[in-house]
């Protein structure tokens, strides 16, 4: 695959990566949700425009801006987006008015912004990007599919770059519904509980991760070497697929410097992550990320952006690690899941 990540932009419950405060301190909370409410968007978007943007659009547009700013560009050549649930706030707003007003006296704004490709369209509009611009909505593989699209695009346009991102917002409704469905924990939890699978449901989250991707190598940049996706309800199958991926990438435990796992505190996935930590990856340094982001369909975009950011820092904060720090950072494996959708990444630091 060999796609280089030239920069990353992050909007998360743990802050945005535009300043030194990001990753400066360990997360501390006792909550049932991790929201991106503390972000100051006004530094990036005029207040007038900001008022018309839903949270999903703000998170997406600003993470894209941070990403481009860090790469020193104002406009990408192309855009590829993943979102599991799309612009939920606007969808609910229009739906609720439609139901309560019996289909009458409705206004278009929230309908217009409820479209799944709103974020991609807004980034194109604000940056004047006329290039290829797709949005993927494949549950826990939405962002990963956007990356596959990036690989296809860069193959055909090897001198271009592509702004690739994942966004999902949490609403009161999605929180309530996904609690009832057992995806999210009914009880408040602390960061420690995300690292240990003891209770049903994970902590709800939201956020946005954007990456500027290109074929051209950049020293110190994260490079995507391989990506494998699978859907299964069976832990045994999932473990075998991770094994298959490592073999296909010709990676043995000794080659791997860091393993980042999508541990999310949900007892349903304890067997999977526990097995990985105790068998294939037992001798590897391990890290986690969902105690910063919470769980959502495109949390993989946050993980990749976080790894890109950390690779640039050259140092991994201890609160991301479960165990000893890596001796060096060359080969990284990222294994993540959102419900039954799993992804395995092989990354290197160039």
Interface contacts to another protein, rule CB under 8 A: 79, 84-86, 91-92, 94-96, 98-100, 102-104, 106-108, 111-118, 120-122, 124-125, 127-139, 141-142, 145, 148-149, 152, 155-156, 173, 176-177, 180-181, 231
Considering the complex, state which of residue 107 and residue 198 has its C-beta at the smaller distance from another protein. Answer: 107
Environment class of 95 (CB within 10 Å of its CB; exposed 0-12, middle 13-18, buried 19+)? middle
Handedness of CA 312, 317, 321, 324 (dihedral sign): positive
Name the E strands within 69-172.
Answer: 79-82, 133-136, 161-168
Measured distance CA(312)–CA(69) in Å, rounded: 15
Tokens of 283: 């001798």
Q: How far is the CB of 277 from another protein (least distance, A)?
A: 28
Q: How far is the CB of 6 from another protein (least distance, A)?
A: 21
Q: How far is the CB of 211 from another protein (least distance, A)?
A: 19
- Residue 342 β-bridge partners: 230, 337
Considering the complex, state which of residue 298 and residue 308 has its C-beta at the smaller distance from another protein. Answer: 298
Considering the complex, state which of residue 80 and residue 308 has its C-beta at the smaller distance from another protein. Answer: 80
Q: How far is the CB of 135 from another protein (least distance, A)?
A: 5
Considering the complex, state which of residue 91 and residue 161 has its C-beta at the smaller distance from another protein. Answer: 91
Considering the complex, state which of residue 75 and residue 330 has its C-beta at the smaller distance from another protein. Answer: 75
Of how many residues is the chain composed?
350
Q: How far is the CB of 340 from another protein (least distance, A)?
A: 9
Q: How far is the CB of 105 from another protein (least distance, A)?
A: 10
Q: How far is the CB of 94 from another protein (least distance, A)?
A: 7
- For residue 303, give the nearest of 341, 264, 334 by alpha carbon: 334
Q: How far is the CB of 41 from another protein (least distance, A)?
A: 19
CB 216 within 8 A of CB 286: no
Considering the complex, state which of residue 95 and residue 277 has its C-beta at the smaller distance from another protein. Answer: 95
Measured distance CA(98)–CA(105) in Å, rounded: 9
- Between the CA of residue 45 and those of 57, 59, 66, 145, what are the distances in Å? 11, 11, 11, 28
Handedness of CA 16, 22, 23, 25 (dihedral sign): negative
Considering the complex, state which of residue 117 and residue 202 has its C-beta at the smaller distance from another protein. Answer: 117
CB 304 within 8 A of CB 5: yes
- For residue 263, give the nearest of 249, 251, 281, 245 by alpha carbon: 281
Considering the complex, state which of residue 20 and residue 156 has its C-beta at the smaller distance from another protein. Answer: 156
The stretches of 41-171 forming alpha helices (DSSP H) are 47-51, 55-71, 88-100, 109-114, 118-127, 142-156
- Between the CA of residue 85 and those of 177, 208, 298, what are the distances in Å? 13, 13, 9
């Amino acid at each position: 695959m060999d796609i280089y990540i030239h920069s990353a932009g992050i909007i998360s419950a743990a802050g945005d990566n535009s300043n030194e405060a990001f990753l400066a301190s360990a997360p501390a909370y006792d909550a049932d949700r991790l929201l991106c409410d503390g972000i100051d968007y006004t530094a990036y978007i005029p207040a007038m425009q900001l008022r018309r943007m839903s949270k999903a659009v703000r998170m997406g547009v600003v993470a894209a801006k941070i990403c481009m700013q860090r790469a020193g560009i104002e406009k990408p050549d192309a855009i590829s987006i993943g979102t599991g649930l799309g612009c939920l706030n606007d969808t609910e707003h229009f739906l609720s008015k439609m139901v309560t007003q019996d289909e009458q006296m409705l206004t278009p704004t929230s309908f217009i912004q409820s479209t799944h490709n709103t974020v991609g369209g807004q980034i194109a509009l604000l940056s004047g990007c006329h290039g290829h611009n797709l949005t993927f909505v494949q549950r826990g593989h939405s962002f990963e599919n956007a990356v596959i699209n990036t690989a296809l695009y860069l193959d055909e346009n090897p001198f271009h770059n592509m702004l690739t991102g994942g966004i999902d917002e949490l609403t009161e409704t999605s929180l309530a519904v996904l609690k009832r469905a057992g995806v999210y924990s009914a009880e408040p939890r602390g960061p420690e509980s995300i690292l240990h699978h003891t209770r049903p449901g994970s902590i709800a989250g939201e956020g946005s991760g954007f990456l500027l991707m290109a074929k051209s190598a950049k020293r110190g940049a994260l490079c995507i070497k391989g990506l494998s996706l699978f859907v299964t309800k069976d832990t045994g199958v999932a473990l075998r697929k991770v094994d298959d991926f490592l073999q296909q990438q010709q990676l043995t435990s000794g080659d791997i410097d860091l393993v980042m796992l999508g541990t999310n505190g949900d007892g349903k996935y304890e067997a999977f992550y526990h097995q990985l930590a105790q068998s294939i990856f037992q001798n590897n340094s391990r890290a986690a990320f969902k105690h910063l982001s919470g769980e959502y369909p495109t949390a993989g975009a946050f993980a990749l952006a976080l790894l890109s950011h950390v690779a640039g820092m050259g140092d991994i904060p201890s609160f991301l690690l479960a165990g000893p720090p890596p001796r060096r950072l060359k080969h990284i494996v990222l294994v993540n899941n959102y419900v039954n959708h799993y992804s395995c990444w092989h990354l290197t630091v160039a």
